Homo-oligomer: A and B are copies of this chain.
Amino acid sequence: MATELDAFDCKLLMEVQRDAQIPQSELGARVNLSTAAVNRRLRRLVDEGVIERYAAIVSPEKTGHPITVVANVEVESEQIDLLDAMKRTFARCPQVQQCYYVAGEWDFVLILAVRDMDEYTELTRQLFFSNNNVKRFKTLVSMSRVKVGLEVPLVSSGE
């Protein structure tokens, strides 16, 4: 499943993960490759699915969604169809940025971006209280977003 990535690929990925707007000529200069080679490699990485997509990262503060909340959820039953329904409900909710189905003390971990605590209260109603399969949930309110990103660690070592 893991594609072979050489040192050039890793360097390129590190750069474009941070900033996808660097021109390929500049990327070439940084990693010591011609623009054409950079172009081919990036295209290949997209084709192979290593680069899933390019996205604009939008500020939650500037768009009026300054509160990040982490919600842990325990379910009543782990029946497949019930779990699938919950996954779909969580995934469909725009305020849910991330949802992980986990093993351990909880079953789901959600990361939510909300306008204020009122909005979160309303969401707990929609997502948790009105769902019979939610046994309990616990809320952690973020006071500071110390680090936020989806960057994959590609530090050295071309695997």
A interface residues, tally (CB under 8 Å): 71
Task: Report B-chain residues with C-beta under 8 Å of the C-beta of A91.
Answer: 146-147
Interface hits, A54-94 → B, CB 8 Å: 54-66, 68, 70, 87, 90-91, 94
A13 touches B63 (CB 8 A): yes
Please classify the interface of chain A as helix (H, G, I), strand (E, B), loop, or mixed, using the class held by over half of its residues.
mixed
A102 touches B143 (CB 8 A): yes
* Number of identical protomers: 2
Given contacts A97-B151, A100-B145, A102-B140, contact A58 B62 (CB under 8 A): no
A109 at the interface (CB under 8 A from B): yes
B62 touches A56 (CB 8 A): no
Interface centre among A48, A90, A154 (most CB of B within 10 A): A154
A5 at the interface (CB under 8 A from B): yes
Query: Closest 6 CB pairs between A and B?
Result: A94-B153, A16-B56, A104-B140, A99-B146, A102-B140, A100-B142
